[in-house]
């Protein structure tokens, strides 16, 4: 029997008559993160709720007793890393403030496992702070950030990133340095390297071994050998179409690099590359029929133990027989769930961390002991959510009008149904993967209100092969838009959607596609909801008045012309596919929202379209969120926005909709 010690899981209680409150979907998760210590004896948990700032708790995995706790005045504890079994580092954030209101950098702080010793390592920049014990010595500058990788976890050193911004007007990172930092005495040194460094990778022993430099739209991969000498491994285009390009993913051992590449095929797979010769193996280590490889390496005892990867859902492949056995046992005890195991890097006990979820069950954490086969539950990220009230999600495929196969994610209400009101949710990017199988707050919120939710992975989306991605180049408002329209026709033909009650919705590029859907395919949609929306492609090249875009010049110079189009050569196409220039054609009801401090899609995208729609006397509702960036960072904003969405949908395609 599995016992849950710290917080309950979602129960299997019967469906409530009233829909679950919006706060259950959009509040901050109860458990933000969990990190197992190098030995496996301790666990660092980042916990919090709407009534308290996120704090850090260190727990003994044997007893589940709290060893220490750290709370920071006026801030939330952010990312946490184990330096070694006796020491941790963390930074801070503020979940209650929008990006435009931030007056501080994340900083960096270290503490002993027992919480008795604490010190500041990096400057907090704008805010005066009494966080930790301020030792009167030189702090690292404010632009000092944790890496995504753990590092060696066997000394008092860590490696941190230091982006260097251009002195010219703009929001441009010129290069990124790597700093070796002693977390006890605060001493640091720069890692020497060739070229203009952009990204760094540590090997399985926690040593900086891969560096990627960028120049003139090209990336060069550098490898540092055992003697400390850097040499070039490969140079390739940084943006656009690159069928033979390679991406370093991790290390197999001292002589072989794990790289993601297509090798002329449609789907990218994981291969081994010989670091001495630069030759890539003929056969992949991990390959999938329907998905490009996407994943991360799991290291234990300074060697590759397994790989976490993403197909339709997340899964794992283990090279260690003991971890294979552990996965089998955990899956038996936690049946019907995706269970991701993370072993300690230097195990001294049988404990390992387990993260579990399904399409209806939000993520929850457990501990598993490989010696005793005991599972000890820790708690759910969203304990109030009842799995039985959540919708079912599946991946489906449909054919676009030109025959191209398009994947899509379909979420239906818990009670199912036919000819349902439907929301077509268009992902942003657009050159990213939109979704994966699992509990999602936005689609589940809409499903809990009785809507079917369809999320097409239209051409241009990544993760599903080169053919689908390549078909989307320069197709904003054209074939990419047709794919979204064809998804609606598919859902209607299958009896899923009521053709008279379909609304299109999305943010960023999804907001652009929403607006263009109302321009180009008005007969398909009863209404539209667009937020943080691109409203005119040429504005992506422009800083946008007083608010600067965070798209780097290199991307604008080399990426946008290849992916989206050229300002001069494609000017006529941009005019025809501009929601701003076609605003008079938007006749359906529209909800338009934007953050005033959005740097990805600057505020003028919103203000210019708002003026054009007002001039055209459009049926539009406008809302702006002061201080918010590219998305909604605060609970107050999320609840306000999704409350408006709920009312808007109910009025136009829900129970309160008037039939024509």
| Model pLDDT for residues 91-122, shown as the tens digit of each residue | 998 887 777 666 678 999 999 999 999 999 99
602 φ/ψ sector (left φ>0, alpha ψ -120 to 50, else beta): beta
**CA-CA-CA-CA torsion sign (248, 251, 257, 262):** negative
Nearest to 209 by CA among 263, 149, 269: 149
- Would you state the pLDDT for residue 558? 59
Q: What is the DSSP letter of 13?
A: P
Query: Looking at residues 142-157, what average pLDDT do you find?
Result: 92
Residue 400 has pLDDT above 60, yes or no: yes
Query: Looking at residues 131-160, what average pLDDT do you find?
Result: 81
- Would you state the pLDDT for residue 242? 63
- Would you state the pLDDT for residue 104? 75
For residue range 303-323, list pLDDT tens digits in order. Answer: 999 999 999 999 999 999 999
Say if residues 413 and 451 touch (Cβ distance below 8 Å): yes
Query: Looking at residues 136-158, what average pLDDT do you find?
Result: 88
- Would you state the pLDDT for residue 10? 40
Query: Looking at residues 332-351, what average pLDDT do you find?
Result: 96
User: Which 3 state secondary structure label does DSSP give 480?
Assistant: helix
31-191: which CATH topology? Answer: Lipocalin (2.40.128)
DSSP of 80-121: EEEEETTEEEEEEE-TTS-GGG--S---EEEEETTSS-EEEE
Q: Is 391-652 the same fold as 31-191?
A: no
Mean pLDDT of the chain: 90
- Would you state the pLDDT for residue 233? 87
- Would you state the pLDDT for residue 553? 56
CATH architecture of 391-652: 3-Layer(aba) Sandwich (3.40)
Q: What is the pTM of this model?
A: 0.90
For residue range 606-652, list pLDDT tens digits in order. Answer: 999 999 999 999 999 999 999 999 999 999 999 999 999 999 999 99
| Phi/psi at 539 (5° precision) | -65, -20
Burial 231-262, CB ≥16 within 10 A → b, else e: eebbeeebbbebeebbbbbbbbeeebbbbbbb
Nearest to 630 by CA among 542, 551, 525, 520: 551
Domain ranges of the chain: 1-29+321-385, 31-191, 391-652
Alpha-carbon distances of 496 from 205, 420, 449, rounded to whole Å: 52, 6, 16
Residue 133 has pLDDT above 60, yes or no: no
Q: 163: which 2 tokens?
A: 């982006």
- Would you state the pLDDT for residue 239? 66
Residue 605 has pLDDT above 90, yes or no: yes
Point out which residues pair with 219 in neighbouring strands. Answer: 214, 236
Q: 347: which 2 tokens?
A: 């195990």
- Would you state the pLDDT for residue 552? 54
């Amino acid at each position: 029997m599995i016992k849950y010690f710290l917080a309950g899981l979602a129960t299997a209680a019967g469906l409530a008559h009233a829909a679950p409150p919006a706060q259950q979907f959009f509040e901050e998760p109860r458990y933000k993160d969990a990190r197992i210590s190098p030995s496996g004896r301790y666990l660092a948990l980042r916990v919090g709720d709407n009534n308290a700032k996120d704090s850090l708790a260190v727990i003994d995995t044997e007893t589940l007793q709290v060893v220490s706790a750290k709370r920071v005045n006026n801030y939330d504890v952010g990312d946490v890393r184990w330096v070694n079994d006796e020491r941790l580092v963390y930074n801070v954030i503020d979940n209650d403030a929008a990006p435009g209101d931030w007056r501080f950098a994340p900083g960096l702080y270290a503490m002993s496992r027992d919480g008795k010793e604490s010190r500041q390592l990096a400057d907090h920049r704008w805010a005066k702070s009494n966080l930790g014990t301020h030792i009167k010595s030189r702090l690292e500058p404010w632009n000092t950030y944790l890496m995504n990788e753990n590092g060696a976890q066997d000394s008092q050193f860590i490696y941190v990133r230091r982006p260097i911004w251009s002195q010219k007007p703009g929001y441009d990172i010129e290069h990124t340095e790597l700093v070796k930092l002693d977390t006890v005495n605060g001493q640091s040194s720069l890692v020497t390297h060739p070229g203009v460094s952009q990204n760094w990778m540590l090997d399985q022993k926690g040593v900086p071994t891969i560096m990627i430099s960028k120049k003139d739209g090209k990336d060069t991969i550098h490898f540092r050998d055992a003697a400390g000498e850097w040499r070039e491994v490969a140079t390739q285009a940084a943006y656009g179409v690159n069928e033979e390009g390679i991406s370093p993913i991790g290390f197999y051992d001292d002589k072989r690099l794990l790289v993601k590449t297509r090798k002329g095929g449609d789907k990218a797979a994981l291969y081994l590359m010989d670091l001495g010769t630069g030759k890539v193996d003929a056969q992949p280590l991990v390959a999938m029929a329907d998905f490009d490889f996407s994943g991360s390496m799991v290291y234990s005892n300074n060697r590759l133990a397994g790989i976490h990867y993403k197909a339709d859902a997340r899964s794992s492949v283990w090279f260690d027989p003991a971890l294979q056995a552990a996965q089998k046992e955990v899956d038996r005890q936690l049946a019907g769930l995706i269970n991701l195991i993370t072993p300690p890097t230097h195990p001294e006990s049988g404990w390992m961390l387990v993260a579990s979820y399904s399409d209806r069950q939000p993520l929850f954490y457990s501990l598993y002991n490989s010696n005793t086969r005991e599972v000890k539950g820790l708690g759910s990220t969203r304990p109030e959510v009842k799995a039985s009230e959540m919708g079912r999600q599946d991946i489906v495929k449909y054919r676009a009008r030109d025959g191209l196969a398009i994947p899509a994610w379909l979420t239906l209400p818990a009670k199912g149904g036919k000819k349902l009101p439907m929301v077509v949710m268009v992902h942003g990017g657009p050159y990213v993967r939109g979704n994966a199988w699992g509990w999602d707050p936005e689609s589940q919120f809409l499903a809990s209100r009785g809507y079917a939710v369809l999320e097409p992975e239209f051409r241009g989306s990544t993760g599903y092969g080169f053919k689908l991605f390549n078909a989307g180049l320069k197709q904003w408002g054209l074939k990419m838009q047709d794919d979204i329209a064809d998804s609606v026709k598919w859902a209607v033909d299958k009896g899923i959607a009521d053709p008279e009650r379909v609304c299109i919705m999305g943010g960023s590029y999804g907001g652009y596609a929403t607006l263009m859907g109302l321009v180009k395919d008005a007969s398909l949609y009863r209404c539209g909801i667009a937020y943080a929306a691109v409203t005119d492609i040429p504005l992506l090249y422009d800083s946008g008045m007083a608010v600067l875009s965070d798209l780097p010049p290199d991307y604008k110079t080399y990426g946008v012309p290849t992916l989206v189009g050229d300002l001069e050569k494609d000017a006529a196409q941009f005019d025809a596919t501009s929601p701003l220039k076609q605003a008079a054609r938007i006749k359906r009801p529209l909800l338009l929202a934007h953050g005033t401090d959005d740097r990805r899609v600057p505020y003028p995208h919103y203000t210019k379209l708002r003026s054009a729609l007002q001039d055209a006397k459009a049926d539009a509702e406008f809302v702006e969120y002061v201080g918010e960036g590219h998305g909604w960072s605060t609970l107050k904003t999320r609840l306000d926005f999704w409350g408006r969405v709920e009312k808007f949908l109910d009025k136009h395609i829900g129970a309160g909709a008037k039939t024509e």
